[in-house]
Amino acid sequence: MQDNFKSGFVALLGRPNVGKSTLLNQVLGQKIVIATDKAQTTRKRIKGILTNEQGQIIFVDTPGVHKPLNKFGEFLVDEAKVSLPDSDLILFLVDVSEPAGKGDNWIVQNMLHETKTQIVLVLNKSDKIKNEEKYQNNVQSYLDLFGEDKPEIISISAKTGKNKEELILKIFEKLPTGIMFYPEDVVTEESMRDVAQEIIREKILLNTKEEIPHCVAVLVEKYEEKEEIDRIFASIFCETKSQKGILIGKGGSMLKKIGTDARIELEKIVEKKVYLELNVKIEKDWRKNKNALERFGYVEN
């Protein structure tokens, strides 16, 4: 290992749906976290690890931060908050195609205002705005949130990868000299059980549109790993009978589509056959229920 090897933890922070998961997948060059256009797609802290000749960056992708409305919402905000003190750098990701809003101000005032950790303001979706004056005004609206102590900025597009290399270089500039925390071929510490749950949930979000926003939780009850085939048995939990009907669909059509889409993607990841069995169950008001939240893994680590 070279003497000037840089390493450290980088927290990705921002409102829901600003592109944190898309950026992480783009930087790593492969999909490790699900990314949709729905708010709260990311529910837990997920580590993505980039290792090259310069060093090792451990990205911590956090749930989109918003004012919590229930116990589940509180968990999401806590997941983001707990990542900050241990980070060497915070990437505050914003959608620069729009001016700063109440949500961005809430994050700065409640989470970034008193932090001693370095902050880089990452202006995402810069490719969506063509008017230079509007762009500059939007940038200024985000900088104004910080008062006199303004962070460095970098403009990117998480979707296209624009300025991805420049962002990686900037991160390495700010990280301390350190050790390799993970073997160089490791890109995440998520287990295949975790990955399967997230892939299934992604296919639910993509197939059910706005009908089933965030009332679902996925639990892999059993994961059998064999040389020729992986067998996965999972339950989808929703809150009402009508939601269960939508998830199953006419003649089981929706559940079949979700299962097929998830199975195809999982087969690409494990590079072998996958048998996937899905069941839909009702867990009334699970987002307000502490025991249910614990069972589904939505508890503080």
| Per-residue pLDDT tens digits of the chain, which is 301 residues long | 566 899 998 988 888 878 888 898 898 887 665 444 444 444 455 678 899 999 999 888 776 555 555 555 555 556 556 667 778 999 999 999 999 999 899 889 988 887 889 999 999 998 888 899 999 999 999 999 998 889 999 999 999 999 999 999 999 999 999 988 888 888 877 778 888 888 898 889 888 876 665 688 899 999 998 889 999 999 999 989 999 999 999 999 999 999 999 999 899 888 899 999 999 999 888 888 888 877 877 765 4
| CB contact set of 8 (below 8 Å; sequence gap of 6+) | 57, 58, 87, 88, 89, 175, 176, 178
Predicted TM-score of the model (pTM): 0.68
Sheet of 217-225: strand order equals 217-225, 229-238, 273-282
- Distance between CA 134 and CA 143 in Å, rounded? 14
> 241-248 and 192-208 helices cross at what angle (nearest 10)?
90
Region for 19 from its dihedrals, namely left if φ exceeds 0, alpha if ψ lies in -120 to 50, beta otherwise: left
Q: Are 43 and 34 in contact (CB under 8 A)?
A: no
Write out the two tokens for 257.
């589509």
Question: What's the length of the chain?
Answer: 301
| CB contact set of 108 (below 8 Å; sequence gap of 6+) | 92, 145, 146
| Angle at CA of residue 251, ends 245 and 256, nearest 5° | 85
Closest by alpha carbon to 59, among 139, 145, 120, 142?
A: 120
Q: Are 120 and 89 in contact (CB under 8 A)?
A: yes
